[in-house]
Structure 1
Amino acid sequence: MTLPTLLDIEASGFGRGSYPIEIGLARADGSVCAFLVHPLDEWTHWDPKAELLHGISRARLEREGYPVRQVARWLNDELSDIGIAYSDSWGYDNTWMSLLFHHAGMLPAFRLEALRRLLSETQMERWSDTKEAIIREQGVLRHRAGEDARLLQLTYQRTLDY
């Protein structure tokens, strides 16, 4: 079985002015990768509550983050052949991804779709309990983009197996 490619984005906050700070992918083969994003000068919004969740400081982004254009190019390189990735928070993730590509001066070579489009009614009913069980079993580090993307992928896989 080929697993769907899952994309997850951590951000500076949730409201107006927020921007992507980490983008992670769980590939069809189950491998995971993630990149921190160096904030642009005009990206000033910072929500301390969001930082408490993901544990990534703005100083760390400035030190270790990759330029916006490089992250956009990486996403296109990763996803152009399959043409699609899925997100469980499509409304937020699509907005942040669009912002990233806009500031990179590029167009995405793939579509981001809502994960729920792949799920059957049975999968949706089992989703929360299954996800919580995987978190407990594997001690998943939450609110980091790569780990969250893989958690979604594992949850998808296990909900299929019922």
Structure 2
Amino acid sequence: MPFIAIDFEASCLPRYGQSFPIEVGIASPMGWSQSWLIRPHASWAGWQWSAEAESLHGISRARLEREGLDVAQVARYLKTAVGGDQVIADSCLDDDWSRILFAAAGDRHPLPVHCLADLQEFHDVEPDRLAHAMAEADVQRTRRHRAEDDARWLARLLYELGLDRVRHFMPLAQPDEMPRLAAVR
């Protein structure tokens, strides 16, 4: 099954409090990518904004108010672009920000975002192969902490690892699921 890499930038790092998504980027292993700035939703009033996060991504609140799209519009664009593909992120926080975005948009069916660290296929990769793939992906990265660039980096990493050819990603087995999953393989 094809996948789309996703990355969110947020108003603050979670250790500073409740954060909201400010930008989302997606990328395919074939090189297609897109991103959208997200105008803060009224329900996020009072949520945290940190200067540290702003210095990382370089996106100001004023810019979001000026150039950001409405949450419903971003959610609609995102679902259309992803289609039926699996969505993979390099951080489990991206699933939280996806849920926050879709909740604000009034959509009770957010995109299920799989965290890279929770995928068995990723854990099966040899450390030397992972280091090589990361170095290859790093060559393509133009900047960090912008959603589209980070999503492109992840898509490239998965491509370099050969995970773009996986038919369906298998979540890591939890201890109580081990016998059932062992029988499937």
Query: Could you state the TM-score of these two structures normalised by the residue count of structure 1?
Result: 0.85
Q: In 2, Cα distance between the equivalents of 1:48 and 1:128?
A: 32
Q: Secondary structure at the match of 2:156?
A: helix
Offset at 1:134? 3.2
User: Aligned partners of 1:65 and 1:130: how far apart in 2?
Assistant: 33
2:9 matched residue in structure 1:
10
1:103 Cα deviation after fit: 1.0
Counterpart in the other structure of 2:88:
86
Paired AA for residue 91 in structure 2: S
Q: Which string of whole-angstrom CA distances, capped at 9 and with x for unpartnered residues, describes residues 71-105 of structure 1? A: 111112122332x2011102x11111111111111
Residues 4 and 28 in structure 2, CA contact (< 8 A), matched pair in contact too: yes
Identity of aligned residues (%): 34
Instruction: Name the CA shift for 1:126/1:51 in 2 (closer, same or farther; >3 Å).
Output: farther
Unaligned 5+ segments in structure 1 are none
1:134 aligned to which of 133, 137, 152: 137
| Cα deviation code 1:1-31 (max 9, x no counterpart) | x863101000011222200000000025320
2-structure distance, mates of 1:62, 1:113: 30
Distance in 1 (alpha carbons) for counterparts of 2:69 and 2:33: 17
Q: Secondary structure at the match of 2:125?
A: helix
CA drift at 1:120 = 4.4
Tell me the alpha carbon deviations over residues 4-62 of structure 1, each in whole angstroms, 9 at most, x when there is no partner: 31010000112222000000000253200000000123334211111111111111111
Aligned residues of 2:99 and 2:110 also touching (Cα < 8 A):
no
Greater radius of gyration (CA): 2
Q: Which residue of 1 aligns with 2:71?
A: 68
Does the CA-based 8 Å contact 1:10-1:54 persist in structure 2? Answer: yes
The SS at the match of 1:63 is helix
In 2, Cα distance between the equivalents of 1:50 and 1:129? 29
* Partner residue, 1:55: 58
Structure 1 residue 154 displacement after superposition? 0.8
What CA distance in whole angstroms lies between the structure 2 residues aligned with 1:126 and 1:93? Answer: 25
Alpha-carbon distance change, 51 to 127 in structure 1, aligned in 2, over 3 angstroms: farther
